[in-house]
Structure 1
Amino acid sequence: MTETVPLRGRRRELSELDALINRARAGHSGAVVLSGEAGVGKSALLDHVATRATAHVRIERIAAFESEMELAYAGLQQLCGPLMGSAKHLPAPQREAIEASFGLREASAPSPFLVGLALLGLLTEAAGDRALLCVVDDAQWLDEASARAVAFAARRLDVEGIVIVLAMRTVGEVFAGLPQLAVQGLGHDDASELLRLAMPGGLDRRVRDQLIAEARGNPLALRELPRALSPAEIAGGFSLTSSMPLEHRIEQSLMVQLKPLPEPAHLLLLLAASDPTGDPELLWRASAVLGLGHEAFDAAKDSDALVVGTRVGFRHPLVRSAVYRAASPEDRRRVHGALADVTSMDHDPDRRAWHRASATLRPDEKVAAGLERSAVRARTRGGAAAAGAFLERAAELTPSPVDRGQRLIAAVEAKHDAGAPAAALHLLDTVRGLPLTALQEARVARLRARAGYALRRDSSGPQLLLAAAQGLEDLDPVLARDTYIEALAAAIYGGRLGDAEQVAAVSNAILEATAAEDSDSARDLILRGQALLAAKGQEAAIETLRRAQHAFLEQAPDALELHWMWFASRAAQDLWDARALRALADRQVELARADGVVTVLPIALSLLMLAQTVDGDLDAAETSCDEIDAIKDVTGHPLPQYGRLFLAAYRGKEQETERWSAQIRADAQARGEGYGLSAVNFAEAILYNGLGHFAKAVDRGSRELPYTHELSHAMRSLLELVEAAAHTGEQALAELAFEKLESVTRPVGTNWALAVLAMADAQVHEGDAAEALYRKAIERFERERIPIMVGRCCLLYGEELNRQGRHAQAREQLRRAHETLSGCGLNGFAQRAAQELRVSGETLRVRARGSAAQLTNQELNVARLAREGLTNRDIGARLFISSHTAEYHMRKVFTKLGIKRRTELRTALAELDLPAPGGGGV
């Protein structure tokens, strides 16, 4: 409803909103969250801005409703209804996802991120050559799935000419990262004037001052509270006192004004307040069920409470909530029952089921079963939170204690899957005392362990998960295996910060549980193989792990196997198998992208980044990190930034590496995950060896000596320690590190392992023996296509030849080292090679940095993906931006780099990874 009086005291808010819209007219996008208490004027601001923005701006506006919070994608469907004609222009995965979320097609649960990207695409299409103002009032009532989709799109806006304005009372977690504009109460002078306009007949001065004080500048309170005063009170004959919160005071005042209405009009207002669709035809049909006639409609409209047009609404959202809160439970059940009767079972079965449940007081299996069917539909549309709400209410209405327990457990699972472990644990408490089967008891134990670990991530997690897995072993073997893997992963990542005996306890329990089976399932093989690796070492695990890797590559994985494929990639690292690492990382990323499983992508991309680093393609690894960051930005995925840490270390960026190290070390300590400490020590050892700070590298590498049995980064740190100790003259330490390295490489026997062993062995020898070992290491690294290690071996070999005074031969190795290391982007090590070349009598030219350094982070992200051959549409999908935004950034990249073709990007971007001027670059 358009504000009928001028907006007073809102110059700041209007200025910011007008600026957003003016920027949109110029092709730029933005979003803002208006927050403030009920009645403070958010809706009036939206009305005012929408009225002023009509020229050359398309406006799409909705209001969310509290009663729709449990219906997955209800808010989004309301918003996208007028836009779905453009859905045909969306990429197929996005179109299919948003259609599935609205129940318009039969499909598996859509990725929420594809839905969010589809929303961004629809908004971009709607903007076209004009600007688009998208307004969501009362956004605090959006269902969770819709809220996440809208927040996703709002965070990804760039240059589409779109403005998203969200009005809500308090800013929830989903919208916390968006720009915010707090709407405060009016100042005293503006409040006084508004009160005068609301009560033109005049007020007693004491009453006026008290009303202004109690309203705290709230415009709705200033307009509505005086209307509830009697003539005596207006004249100052009554002291206004109330400890009631202001929102309730306003609602009470509104109801006082509505009190004279006849009972049928009250019932009709309640009916309208209970129906969030605002469909006039639906309201007419429900009124007929209740026996309400035209007189009730006329009285409700004449009260200025109800607004009837193409949609039925209220003059203010608080009128709706006041009417609903003031109604008796019996009347609420009556109107919900009427709405259920007239809501289509075919077109809106979930809203019908929810109305029917709201109309039901006593347990009713038929109603509960309807809610359960709605939960299934919500699941297929990706609404885990909605499914949890449907199932929880279904359980409340279930007569049979046995069925009630089953539905409560399903509700807990849905809430946990929706990322609400605290709510899941709370609901689990209501299961106590119900008659449960042995399988249900075991599932409850699993849910309690999973939710508890998700909340606390403490050392009790692996043991509780193990106990849950053992309890499921004879009841649900598939669920048991999945829980065993969770327990083992928790124990391994806890490492030195967890219970020292937990990895062994979990591994031995898994080996005992799987001793009698010979399954070819990828999931079963990786479970047993990882347990063998943790409990008995590499040699015992090799055959099983290689079978698991083959199964993951050859079989079509189910959802659980796709989720756990990263464990096979980790095994490839621990077995020094570069080929398997590349193949598994590529496959998991490919499958996760194809299926839209964005929850799996960050860790899969992290392993792909490692494989790309092994391949010496740090540019591609950087692109993978960009994609991980894009996913983290929209999902809040907690995966630490290991990729950025190692890239900075390999590139010789000291300050950046140390910044990431401090962050990851603190996070690892807080989470109780020793894996993070190992990653930091390994990365810093690489950094300091590259920069020639060998004493620091000795310190970092030595920290991993006690943890070689953990394999992974601790094992790989040994090679760095050998190099650092050899350069600082600590021969005994170098030999100790070599012995430990030998124990975890020789049993494996791969080219990668034997090359690493030869490289380390060469550094504890000298003369002819060292030369032969370096040649052997280089030949094996070449055979495995690991150029970064070829370059590092050539560097060490050249240093050895320089020490022997054989400078001409040294230059041959050092030139190759410098060329290889520079080409891969290992700038610290390349700098060492350049310095060693100077020792041998040769000087290299310094390459200057150019205009690529002026690119913004987003321009860099887009440019790197374009360098890899992706189209603008592909880039948009990877970075969760619109293709329009990707195209815009590419134009900026071309201008800044002074290039005309994408084929020129690789050369133009190469300079970005050089050390800064003055940093000793080559």
Structure 2
Amino acid sequence: MTETAPLRGRRRELAELDAMVNRARAGRSAALVLAGEAGVGKTALLDHMVLRTTPHVRVERVTASQSEMELAYAGLQQIAGHMMSSAARLPAPQREAIDSALGLRQSSAPSPFLVGLALLGLLTEAAGDEALLCIVDDAQWLDQASARALAFAARRLEAEGIAIVLAMRRVDDVFAALPQLHVEGLEYDDARELLRLAAPGGLDRRVRDQLIAEARGNPLALRELPRTLSPAEIAGGFRLTSTMPLETRIEQSLVVQLEPLPQPARLLLLLAAADPTGDPELLWRASAKLGLGPEAFNAAKDADALVIGTRVGFRHPLIRSALYRDASAEDRRRVHAALAAVTSAEHDPDRRAWHRASATLRPDEEVASDLEQSAARARTRGGAAAAGAFLERAAELTPTPVSRGQRLIAAAEAKHDAGAPAAAINLLDTTRDLPLTELQHALVARLRARAGYALHRDSSGPKLLLAAAQGLENRDPVLARDTYIEALAAAIYGGRLGDAEQVAAVSNAILEATDTEDSDNARDLILRGQALLAAKGQEAALDTLRRAQRAFLDQAPDALGLHWMWFASRAAQDLWEARALRALADRQVDLARAGGIVTVLPIALSLLMLAQTVDGELDAAEASCDEIDAIKEVTGHPLPQYGRLFLAAYRGRAAEAERWAKQIRADATTRGEGYGLSAVNFAEAILYNGLGRFADTVTSGSRELPYTHELSHAMRTLLELVEAATHTGDRALAEHAYEKLDSVTRPVGTNWAAAVSAMAEAQLRNGDDAYRLYQNAIERFEIERIPIMVGRCRLLYGEELNRQGRRTDARAHLRSAHELLANCGLNGFAQRAADELQASGDTLRVPAEGSAAQLTNQELNVARLAREGLTNRDIGARLFISGHTAEYHLRKVFTKLGIKRRTELKTALAHLDPATSPTEAL
């Protein structure tokens, strides 16, 4: 590395920063947040880091600006601008997403996660065969969209040779998950030496000690505060009386130093502070508008305040904020007006609109309209937060109350979409005294209900959403239908923990308000079909729900249709339609993945996971759970871990399943979502039946008996309860559970439903009757391609034959059951088959599950997807990592498992010890 003079008192920080660069040169990546108060020396550390970096490391460095916080992807433009020549090598969805984010193409709003993945790809391309150091100073001023994209990329780094350093005053929530290095003030000896260099004429000892104590080791304070002292204070008369924060005192000292400058020079500095682009040509043109000549530039440069090169900057970032904050409101409006006048309306319309707004004091419809158009452009780039800021300022500048209300509602909706429901409600509160139209009142009610439900998820949500839907019915039918669906979904998921009458109330209101006889729209059909299902049962809903399923499969869904497709998948479960469940889950996942719609993808993947378990593809289901976890990690999506719970239950992993069950049961109770309780009871019933703990199954399964009308998991638990009750000798309970199960399978008439009913009834019959019922169930399960149930039927019949003393007949069924169940990964049930086979007088060697290697979570995730045939690039896209990182992990997997080819992964992974695997460790 290039030798430079060491920074005083920063050995620890420099060592960590140097280590990051060295790791990047070796092909490993890392991200770091450099945090500390203003003036503590973060920028100096970054300067030193760059100087010590070898020529073989590419450096990209930007400084965020507070004035650009409301411009969507303004920070990304700075970060990625020099790298866009590599965009052509990105996968098409990523390339299109980042082009849209930067306004290079007109399209719908890009997925923020595709933008983040595109940024990761650009950084990887920029690193090439060497290494890349990417530095963002003053990162606390990044706009929200850019901050999320950068945090996304930073969290996914691993094997690309990239080092990302973000310097900020306090660690923002967006970056909280990244490693952090907190820069503290200097120790006393270092502070004293720095103070000596800043005041070479010498300071009175008492003044020196007072300054060191008050500066708390802050290097900028130690350099700048002495400059504000009078000769008498330096000689010993200094007394600190200010109680203002240190940052404010530093800013004040910087401003005081600039006070002797002529007014034109001070106005020029304010102009530079108000312009975040740092474009010298723009500054020249704006200064001409204000009548500022070369003498103003010379004075500003001579004062060591302004630095003009390829970009305009300041000696220290605090000078910018100090100047801007200290200026009068009138002067700030003057410089913004000048900047607006010289900013291109064609090439930079949003920045021009923001400058115009900052220059405007009174309501002005022309300025407000420009801001509204900027909000629309921000929306198309995926900048919901920026759209909210533009619209909020537009509302402030709107002369007419009706239009002001319209813009406030739009601003509130944008803030809600940006994940700020509390801010949305605050904006809606400001509309109370405005003369809103009936439609606007209805929109306010809808948005207030949605934001309130997002904040609290309590039992009032469905009721408020229903009222909002009814208010929109005659004013915006499309929006009304969407709100009805939200109300019904909230009521159904609340279930037993919500208002007991809510599901019926919402369903009946929907049936009164809708009639889909002539509609073939998928959303219309699923809305009415689900309402019929909830209010009148399966038979009444059959035709409408099947039409809805066909529509979702045949139509190209819009954004709302894609969002609500999961409701059709849920209907397929409630109607026992295995093929429809597979087809709908596959289609929703494919569409959401292709569009990068990560708000939809976790729910779609959870339904795909369910379809995969029905198909006996537990390995694929595990990979789907891995993908859900990857999305949750980068989005904070609150979807509960139902998939992990069910997989642990099917695989017979008691400790893991019980741990998930405890967590999900507590979370569901807190959220007031009865669906979660039903999922836990069903999973426990599967787990305990597999382990032969039938009394425990009776305990868990019996909890669902009062809720069979909810269908879903409550309905499916009945089959488990029949099995447990027959094994514990509780004939009455088994008969009761069967009767309830028959009531929700007979009306449907599908093979899956008939097979489940036959399987349950067979356990209550003897001899030839039982045989015929088991054979009927097996044949139907085979037709529907549900191997786990074929295996379980054969297990149950083998057990029954053993009880009758027909051991030879039992062995054929038990061997077949064991093979099917073991191949699917239902280890508990497979062990039951092996134990029963031994009781029949036969033996079966069950290979012990060994720990071939200890794979990390990420290695296991990559290995599973590679086992499914995905390329490194595809694996990277699924897990939101780079292809380089996927390849890196796969090499480690091969080494640990002692294999050389992907085709060996299935066998190698099959014998990982569940007790010590990463999944069990969660």
The runs of at least 4 aligned residues of structure 1 exceeding 3 Å deviation read: 2-6, 515-518, 848-853, 913-917
Code of the residue aligned with 1:240 in structure 2: it is: L
Instruction: Please name the residue that 1:743 is paired with.
Output: 743
Instruction: Please name the residue that 1:255 is paired with.
Output: 255
Structure 2 distance, partners of 1:516, 1:391, is 37
Q: Report if aligned partners of 1:387, 1:414 keep a CA contact under 8 Å in 2.
A: yes
Cα displacement string for residues 157-186 of structure 1 (whole angstroms, at most 9, x for unaligned residues): 010011111111111111111111111122
Code of the residue aligned with 2:754 in structure 1: it is: L
Q: How does 1:805-816 map to 2 (within 5 A)?
A: 805-816=805-816
Q: Report if aligned partners of 1:851, 1:896 keep a CA contact under 8 Å in 2.
A: no
Instruction: Please name the residue that 1:232 is paired with.
Output: 232
Cα displacement string for residues 596-618 of structure 1 (whole angstroms, at most 9, x for unaligned residues): 21110000010001001101111
Cα displacement string for residues 525-562 of structure 1 (whole angstroms, at most 9, x for unaligned residues): 10011011111111111111111111111111111111
- Cα distance, 1:745 vs. partner? 0.8
- Cα distance, 1:517 vs. partner? 5.4
Cα displacement string for residues 796-835 of structure 1 (whole angstroms, at most 9, x for unaligned residues): 1100011111111111000010000000000010011111
Instruction: Please name the residue that 1:688 is paired with.
Output: 688
Instruction: Please name the residue that 2:108 is paired with.
Output: 108
- Cα distance, 1:767 vs. partner? 2.7
Structure 2 distance, partners of 1:377, 1:761, is 62
- Cα distance, 1:914 vs. partner? 6.4
Instruction: Please name the residue that 2:187 is paired with.
Output: 187
Instruction: Please name the residue that 1:920 is paired with.
Output: none
SS at 1:539 equivalent = helix
Instruction: Please name the residue that 2:391 is paired with.
Output: 391
Cα displacement string for residues 748-784 of structure 1 (whole angstroms, at most 9, x for unaligned residues): 1111111111111111223332222111111111111
Instruction: Please name the residue that 1:858 is paired with.
Output: 858
Code of the residue aligned with 1:782 in structure 2: it is: E
- Cα distance, 1:899 vs. partner? 2.7
Most deviating of 145-154 and 697-706: 697-706
Cα displacement string for residues 626-670 of structure 1 (whole angstroms, at most 9, x for unaligned residues): 111111111111111111110111011111111111221121111
Structure 2 distance, partners of 1:117, 1:238, is 55
Instruction: Please name the residue that 2:342 is paired with.
Output: 342
Structure 2 distance, partners of 1:585, 1:912, is 29
SS at 1:669 equivalent = helix
Instruction: Please name the residue that 1:652 is paired with.
Output: 652
Structure 2 distance, partners of 1:554, 1:742, is 32
Code of the residue aligned with 1:615 in structure 2: it is: D
- Cα distance, 1:851 vs. partner? 6.1
Cα displacement string for residues 87-120 of structure 1 (whole angstroms, at most 9, x for unaligned residues): 1111111111101111111111111111100100
Most deviating of 837-846 and 332-341: 837-846
Q: Report if aligned partners of 1:507, 1:535 keep a CA contact under 8 Å in 2.
A: yes
Q: Report if aligned partners of 1:388, 1:415 keep a CA contact under 8 Å in 2.
A: yes
TM-score (norm 1): 0.98
Code of the residue aligned with 1:331 in structure 2: it is: D
Cα displacement string for residues 269-311 of structure 1 (whole angstroms, at most 9, x for unaligned residues): 0011000100111111111111111111111111111111111
- Cα distance, 1:916 vs. partner? 7.4
- Cα distance, 1:848 vs. partner? 4.2
- Cα distance, 1:213 vs. partner? 1.3
Q: Report if aligned partners of 2:516, 2:525 keep a CA contact under 8 Å in 1.
A: no
Code of the residue aligned with 2:861 in structure 1: it is: N
Cα displacement string for residues 560-609 of structure 1 (whole angstroms, at most 9, x for unaligned residues): 11100000000000011101101110111111112221110000010001
The answer to whether residue 494 in structure 2 is matched with residue 473 in structure 1 is no
The answer to whether residue 566 in structure 2 is matched with residue 566 in structure 1 is yes
Instruction: Please name the residue that 1:277 is paired with.
Output: 277
SS at 2:900 equivalent = coil
- Cα distance, 1:498 vs. partner? 0.7
Instruction: Please name the residue that 2:920 is paired with.
Output: none
Structure 1 distance, partners of 2:598, 2:117, is 12
Instruction: Please name the residue that 1:702 is paired with.
Output: 702
- Cα distance, 1:518 vs. partner? 3.4
Instruction: Please name the residue that 2:294 is paired with.
Output: 294
SS at 1:431 equivalent = coil
Q: How does 1:65-214 map to 2 (within 5 A)?
A: 65-214=65-214
The alignment of Structure 1 onto Structure 2 pairs a total of residues equal to 916
Most deviating of 159-168 and 237-246: 237-246
Structure 2 distance, partners of 1:8, 1:653, is 56
Q: Report if aligned partners of 2:65, 2:138 keep a CA contact under 8 Å in 1.
A: yes
Structure 2 distance, partners of 1:224, 1:3, is 28
Structure 1 distance, partners of 2:191, 2:708, is 71
Most deviating of 70-79 and 834-843: 834-843
- Cα distance, 1:21 vs. partner? 1.4
Unpaired segments ≥5 residues, structure 1: 918-922
SS at 2:237 equivalent = coil
Structure 1 distance, partners of 2:515, 2:781, is 37
SS at 2:71 equivalent = coil
SS at 2:61 equivalent = strand
Most deviating of 904-913 and 566-575: 904-913
Code of the residue aligned with 1:340 in structure 2: it is: A
- Cα distance, 1:516 vs. partner? 7.5
Q: Percent identity?
A: 82
Instruction: Please name the residue that 1:17 is paired with.
Output: 17
SS at 1:283 equivalent = helix
Q: Report if aligned partners of 1:305, 1:314 keep a CA contact under 8 Å in 2.
A: yes
Instruction: Please name the residue that 1:905 is paired with.
Output: 905
- Cα distance, 1:850 vs. partner? 5.2
Q: How does 1:553-632 map to 2 (within 5 A)?
A: 553-632=553-632
Instruction: Please name the residue that 2:419 is paired with.
Output: 419
Instruction: Please name the residue that 2:800 is paired with.
Output: 800
Q: Report if aligned partners of 2:516, 2:528 keep a CA contact under 8 Å in 1.
A: no
Structure 1 distance, partners of 2:218, 2:722, is 70
Instruction: Please name the residue that 2:731 is paired with.
Output: 731
Structure 1 distance, partners of 2:908, 2:481, is 50
Instruction: Please name the residue that 1:537 is paired with.
Output: 537
- Cα distance, 1:900 vs. partner? 2.7
- Cα distance, 1:887 vs. partner? 1.6
Structure 1 distance, partners of 2:225, 2:204, is 14
Code of the residue aligned with 1:15 in structure 2: it is: A
Q: Report if aligned partners of 1:651, 1:913 keep a CA contact under 8 Å in 2.
A: no
SS at 1:520 equivalent = coil
Q: CA 1:39–1:916 in structure 2 vs 1: closer, same or farther (change >3 Å)? A: closer
- Cα distance, 1:217 vs. partner? 1.4
Structure 2 distance, partners of 1:692, 1:260, is 87
Q: CA 1:484–1:581 in structure 2 vs 1: closer, same or farther (change >3 Å)? A: same
Structure 1 distance, partners of 2:717, 2:242, is 69
Instruction: Please name the residue that 2:453 is paired with.
Output: 453
Structure 2 distance, partners of 1:41, 1:517, is 70
Q: Report if aligned partners of 2:653, 2:914 keep a CA contact under 8 Å in 1.
A: no
Structure 1 distance, partners of 2:235, 2:127, is 54
Instruction: Please name the residue that 1:29 is paired with.
Output: 29
Instruction: Please name the residue that 1:441 is paired with.
Output: 441
Instruction: Please name the residue that 1:311 is paired with.
Output: 311
Q: Report if aligned partners of 1:3, 1:44 keep a CA contact under 8 Å in 2.
A: no
Instruction: Please name the residue that 1:839 is paired with.
Output: 839
Q: CA 1:914–1:436 in structure 2 vs 1: closer, same or farther (change >3 Å)? A: closer
Unpaired segments ≥5 residues, structure 2: 918-922
Q: Report if aligned partners of 1:602, 1:631 keep a CA contact under 8 Å in 2.
A: yes
Q: CA 1:768–1:891 in structure 2 vs 1: closer, same or farther (change >3 Å)? A: same
Q: Report if aligned partners of 2:853, 2:897 keep a CA contact under 8 Å in 1.
A: no
Q: Report if aligned partners of 1:3, 1:48 keep a CA contact under 8 Å in 2.
A: no
Structure 2 distance, partners of 1:429, 1:62, is 39
Code of the residue aligned with 1:908 in structure 2: it is: A
SS at 2:430 equivalent = helix
Q: CA 1:913–1:533 in structure 2 vs 1: closer, same or farther (change >3 Å)? A: farther
Code of the residue aligned with 1:666 in structure 2: it is: A
Cα displacement string for residues 506-532 of structure 1 (whole angstroms, at most 9, x for unaligned residues): 111001111485321110110011011
Structure 2 distance, partners of 1:788, 1:243, is 72
Q: Report if aligned partners of 2:73, 2:143 keep a CA contact under 8 Å in 1.
A: yes
Structure 1 distance, partners of 2:894, 2:138, is 43
SS at 1:870 equivalent = coil
Q: Report if aligned partners of 1:827, 1:915 keep a CA contact under 8 Å in 2.
A: no
- Cα distance, 1:913 vs. partner? 6.7
- Cα distance, 1:197 vs. partner? 1.6
SS at 1:579 equivalent = helix
The answer to whether residue 775 in structure 2 is matched with residue 775 in structure 1 is yes
Q: CA 1:54–1:275 in structure 2 vs 1: closer, same or farther (change >3 Å)? A: farther
Instruction: Please name the residue that 1:827 is paired with.
Output: 827
